[in-house]
Amino acid sequence: IAAQELNNPFEYCDVVTTTTHKTLRGPRAGLIFRKDLENAADLEKHINDATIAAIATSLLQVSKRKFKLYAKQVIANARALAASLVSHGYRLQTDSTNNHLVLWDLRPIGLTGSKVEKGCDLMGITINKNAVSGDASAQVPGGIRLGTSALTLRNMKEEDIKVVADFLHCTVQLSLLLQKEAGSKLLKDFVRVVTVPQEGLEGYKQVKQLRDKVVTFASQWPLPGVDVQTLMKPEGIHDCAGTGGKDLDFMSPLFRFWFFFIKRRFNDQVLTSLDTGIDYNHPTLGGGIGSNFLVIGSYDFVGDAYDGSNTSTPDSDPHDNCQGAVRNRQ
């Protein structure tokens, strides 16, 4: 709205609310706009002054031309993502999108949003399960929601987003195989064949292969303001894409302690700036540290790093051994 890419709700609404830590790229907070200022509630005692300063900084960034270019590219990338998924034969709730979000209906292929979310987690891709129209229960959502804000701020363009869509396609096809190998439709059985070597079959091997490709691709776009090369990692923790390093056990006490320590050590402002690299609420994520993740959600970075450039070119074909027909985009 600030970039004039969507209609202005203030022309019609008496009250408008928004978060500030998603596409606004600010701290974890919110804004409430209302026309009746005379009777506005005095919430001064409940407001964190540091958060106000952070929001003000975000709003200053939004007023710049760079943000307008960023917002335009976010929508262009979202449309490219939607078009790529449709070309793979999948059904979206609205066939396309006019903003940064894509709602993907997984019911026609026999998967739940929970399974695809878990499968993507293990592949180093962060998404969110989401209910779709017609679901009987929000506890068993039939879809997932995708966003392009974080990927855009890492300077990805439409062609790069198409590669991301192919990774999603591969993950869904692999999830179907894992569900078949699990012999049931329960989420716990799905997780078991993915995470327990003794239980895994062909799908278990393909998870590792695809995860390594995701890490290789994602690491070409660094996180704004974060030099992942200088992050100190305790002994025993390795990137899954590292040379000769063993896979990271994301359920190990050491891993949980390390991220708990970071979360306690730094404030939310710093944590939010890392959200596109590490989801601290989901310690089961796969794919390594920092920029090795692909976050395809509604959240975004804190900061003003988008410059509209794209100097990264994938060095290798990410589509080898992918389940299903995938176009080579090199």
pLDDT tens for residues 4-15?
999 999 999 989
- Among 34-48, 122-136, 283-297, the least confident range: 283-297
- Predicted local confidence at residue 91, as pLDDT: 95
Q: Is the pLDDT confidence value at 284 over 50?
A: no
Q: How, if at all, do strands 101-105 and 91-92 pair?
A: antiparallel
Q: Scanning the structure block, which residue is given the tokens 């012999």?
A: 183
What whole-number distance in Å separates Cα of residue 30 and Cα of residue 72? 23
What whole-number distance in Å separates Cα of residue 147 and Cα of residue 164? 12
HSE-up (13 A, CA, CB side) for residue 247: 18
What whole-number distance in Å separates Cα of residue 50 and Cα of residue 61? 17
Chain mean pLDDT for the chain: 75
Residues 267-294, buried b or exposed e (16+ Cβ, 10 A)?
A: ebbebbbbbbbbbeeeeebbbbbbbbbb
- Predicted local confidence at residue 45, as pLDDT: 65
Q: How many CB atoms lie within 10 A of CB 72?
A: 15
- Predicted local confidence at residue 156, as pLDDT: 93
| DSSP symbol at 46 | G
Helix (H) or strand (E) holding 105: strand 101-105
Q: Is the pLDDT confidence value at 112 over 50?
A: yes
First to last CA, the chain: 35
- Predicted local confidence at residue 68, as pLDDT: 93
| DSSP symbol at 99 | S
- Predicted local confidence at residue 184, as pLDDT: 84
pLDDT band at 321 (very low <50, low <70, confident <90, very high): very low
Which residue, 65, 220, 75, 67, is CA-closest to 154?
220
Residue 290 to residues 49, 80, 140, 232, 258, Cα–Cα distance (Å): 29, 25, 30, 11, 14
Q: Please tell me which residue, 157 or 272, carries the higher pLDDT value.
A: 157
pLDDT mean over 262-291? 36
DSSP string over 258-314? HHHHHHHHS-HHHHHHTTTT--TT-TT--S-SGGG-EE-SS---SS----S------
What whole-number distance in Å separates Cα of residue 61 and Cα of residue 115? 37
Maximum average pLDDT range among 33-37, 57-61, 237-241, 253-257: 57-61
Which residue, 14, 8, 12, 59, is CA-closest to 39?
14
- Among 76-85, 185-194, 305-314, the least confident range: 305-314
Q: Is the pLDDT confidence value at 253 over 60?
A: no
pLDDT tens digits, one per residue of 119-149? 898 888 989 999 999 888 888 899 999 999 9
Q: Please tell me which residue, 221 or 320, carries the higher pLDDT value.
A: 221
Q: Is the pLDDT confidence value at 276 over 50?
A: no
pLDDT band at 267 (very low <50, low <70, confident <90, very high): very low
Which residue, 299, 314, 210, 215, is CA-closest to 24?
299
pLDDT mean over 213-240? 71
Q: Scanning the structure block, which residue is given the tokens 């890492």?
A: 154
pLDDT band at 257 (very low <50, low <70, confident <90, very high): low
How many degrees, rounded to 5, is the angle at CA 287 between CA 197 and CA 24? Answer: 145
pLDDT mean over 261-281? 37
C-beta separation of 100 from 148 below 8 A = yes
C-beta separation of 258 from 323 below 8 A = no
pLDDT band at 171 (very low <50, low <70, confident <90, very high): very high
pLDDT band at 203 (very low <50, low <70, confident <90, very high): confident
| DSSP symbol at 329 | -
